[in-house]
Each structure stands twice: as structure tokens, then as C-alpha cells.
Amino acid sequence: MPHHLRRLAVISTHTSPLARPGTTKAGGMNVYVAELAKQLAARERIVDIYTRRDSPDLPDVVEIAPGAQVVHVDVGPPTPLPPIEVAAHIDAFTARADQIAHERGWSYELLHSHYWVSGLSGISLAQRWSCPHAATFHTLGEIKNRHYRGAGHPEPALRIAGEDHVASCADLLIPWTAHERDFLIDFYKADPARIRIVPGGVDLERFQPGDRRAARETVRRTMPDLVVDDAPAILFVGRLEPLKGVDLLVEALAQLDPPAGRPPPRLWIVGGDARDEPERARLRAIAAAAGVADRVSMQHAAPHQLLPDLHRAANVCAMPSAYESFGLVAVEAMACGAPVVASRVGGLMTTITDGDNGYLAPERTAAAFAQRLGWVLNSPDGGAAMGRRAAASARRYAWPVAAERMLELYESLIAEPERDPSPCAEAAETLLASAGL
């Protein structure tokens, strides 16, 4: 008989589920952590999400749903820090989280860490709390290095070593896709018997197909920086990172032939905040050079609940990323009946079937994207049929389904005999010390 989970500790050191998704480091992982916590709390489990305090005025504990709360851990400066800097505070984080649990009298049957930095803390906390440790990486440094060749900074060696360590010490690894599972086995030498997949989800009650005209009215009101008129619209939603490939999309816009008898398409770019002005300026310059500046409009990251109208208002959603471990935005767009034109990478290969419920560009070039965006925009009937198939296939990614699966995994993990944790504690200290942390 599987054992019952009563209280779960979630470790999400460097990003908080309270952060607005679509800005700097807050994205799919934040949505995943928050949604699953709410789903588990609705199933009468208590969920404490430990995260580093990144702003001085946050209360110690913030409830996100009855039974699910964010617990702020005071280590390092109370400002946002990149993950590698959070790694330098990881021992202090572990000690403080343990102290909080002790002071409040909280005890756990299981802990789930998110991202490799949290995984390092998870290894030590699981030993202190004598509970099993499940780990999800969300992205893997070595995959990034391979996909981002020439496009970004190589991931630090400490990250790869940290991931290696978490992959061998966690009791269960929970990737989002088969692609990530295979990579964990092939590169990180993870034990296949200790890996189970739980894909991301979408709130199917909110993200639904609907009337485009009405949605455009709403978007005009809620996102005043976007130019919303009768022209067809291509939508990008996400963090404004160069690796999301928005520049490629701007160039694709310039290569698109206007649909017969209709105004030339617009590009709506939604994401980022004031900190992303340099990236916005770069995109504006590319648009100006390509002669499409008047057809590109940008809006800061929108609250998650406003996104369904945005997807309904657009004609097609584009995801030209260099890599996506899953790509929640694609599934959210699909759930709203929007065809997605995406790169043939990572999780997008799982959620999109080329030519059926969307398109996977065979190469990451403006020409390949322009061609496929043109196919959707120039054949409104074909685009609508593809959107209907997209909405149907998104139905398999509901948060309650993901949560039930997660709960099942948690409870069978609790029922397993304990593994000997001793080789893992020392290795974490050695790892951090050798990196001078």
C-alpha cells in the first residue's frame, strides 16, 4: 500500500512562485511550482515552498492557496540574484530552511527540489529531515551548451557538476519530457529506474478557444502598448531572452508576403519588464533595419490570467526558441485554439505534430518561419482547422492530471525503503569548495 503524503517541502531557491512569469528568470518553472502546489493543496496536502527572500518587504510566509504557502528564507542580499550566485549561499539556505521547519514544528514525508541549485540544498535537507528527495531540473546546463553554441554564454562547469551530483543523489528524477529523460540517462548517467516523467500543464478552464473579435477588444483595453486593429497578428509571449529567438521572428515578419486583400501582418511581443529595455532596443533596431518597425509592438509581461484573450486575439503564436525543455506557452496557445509555429527542439517536439496541430520549422531561420507563418495566415480556413486540432491535443495537458500523477509518484517514493545517503553529503561540500563557494 502506498504511504500517504501529508506535508511536502518544495525547494525553489532562486525563483519564487510569487514572481511574475515572463520576466527575467521567472517563467515555466514558476508556473509549474505554483500550479502543482495549488493542485496538491486542493487534495488536502500541505505544501511549503521554500525560496530565497529577494525583496526586503516580503512577509515571512505568504499563502498562495489554502494549504499552500511560500516560505521566505533570509540568506544573501534581499534582491534578485542569478542562480550561480544563489549557489554560493546554498549551505546557509539549507541551514536556515531547516531552522524554520524546526521552529514552526513542520515535518515532511518528502521534498521536491526544482533546478540544480535547489537540488544541492535538497540533498542535505532530505538527510536532515530523513525523507526522500525528488528533483526536477527544468533545464539542463549541458543541453543549453549544445543548443546555444555561439548564441549565449556557456553554462558554468559548476552547474554541470551540480546537476551530475543531484542526478546521482536524488531518490527520483522527474523531467517534463522523454527528451530530457533520455538526456539524463545518456549524459548525466542517471539510473533509468529512478526517472519518471510528469509533463507541464495548462489551466484548461481559463485557456479555451473563443471569439477573436471580442478578444481583440479586451486586449486593446488591457494591453495598450500593442497595436490591435484588423491586421492579422503573430504573437510571441515569453521572457525577453535572446535565446527565445524573437529577433528571428522580427526578420521573418519582413519576409512574409501580405495575405491577398488583407493588411500586412503585425507582430505582438509580450514579455519582460523595465529591466529588458536593452533587449527591446535591440529588437527595435532589427525591426527598423528590416523596414517593419511600424508593424512590431511590444508590451511588458502580462498577468497570466490575461493571456487567454491574447492567444484568442492573435492568428498564430510563434516560438522560435533555440531550446525549450517543455514550452508551456505553446500548450497554452494551443489550448486557446491558436496554431503554433515553433522550432524543432526539446519539448516542442512532444507537444506539436508538424503539419497537424502546428508547424515545427525544420531549421531556425527567418525564411523557414516566414514560410510556415505564411501558410497559417494565408489560409485562414486551414489555420482554423489546425487551431481546432491544437485545442483538442492540448486537453491532455491539464494541471489536475499532472498533479494526480505527481501524487502517485510521491506516495510510492515514500513507501520505498530508504537509500544510504552518506556518500552524497560529502560530495556536495567538496563540489562547492572546489568551485571556491
Under the rule (CB under 6 A), what is the footprint of ligand UDP?
A: 21-22, 27-29, 31, 237-239, 270-271, 301-302, 304, 307, 326-329, 332
Cα separation, 367 vs 372, in Å, equals 9
Q: Bridge partners of 110? A: 8
- Nearest residue (CB) to ligand UDP, 119 versus 374: 119
List of long-range contacts for 129-132, beta carbons under 8 Å, 24+ apart:
129/9, 129/98, 129/101, 130/418, 131/9, 131/414, 132/171, 132/172, 132/413, 132/414, 132/416, 132/418
CB of 104 to ligand UDP, least distance (A): 31
CB of 266 to ligand UDP, least distance (A): 17
- Nearest residue (CB) to ligand UDP, 395 versus 419: 395
The burial of 277, by beta-carbon neighbours within 10 Å (0-12 exposed, 13-18 middle, 19 or more buried), is given as exposed
- Nearest residue (CB) to ligand UDP, 347 versus 374: 347
- Nearest residue (CB) to ligand UDP, 53 versus 304: 304
CB of 22 to ligand UDP, least distance (A): 2
- In the complex, which residue's CB is closest to ligand UDP? 27
CB of 191 to ligand UDP, least distance (A): 26
Helix segments in 22-151, DSSP class H: 28-42, 83-87, 90-104, 116-129, 141-147
Q: How do 316-319 and 296-299 pair as beta strands?
A: unpaired
- Nearest residue (CB) to ligand UDP, 29 versus 101: 29
CB of 240 to ligand UDP, least distance (A): 9
CB of 234 to ligand UDP, least distance (A): 16
Cα separation, 21 vs 29, in Å, equals 9
Q: How do 340-343 and 316-319 pair as beta strands?
A: parallel
Helix segments in 157-269, DSSP class H: 157-169, 178-186, 212-222, 246-255
- Nearest residue (CB) to ligand UDP, 253 versus 331: 331
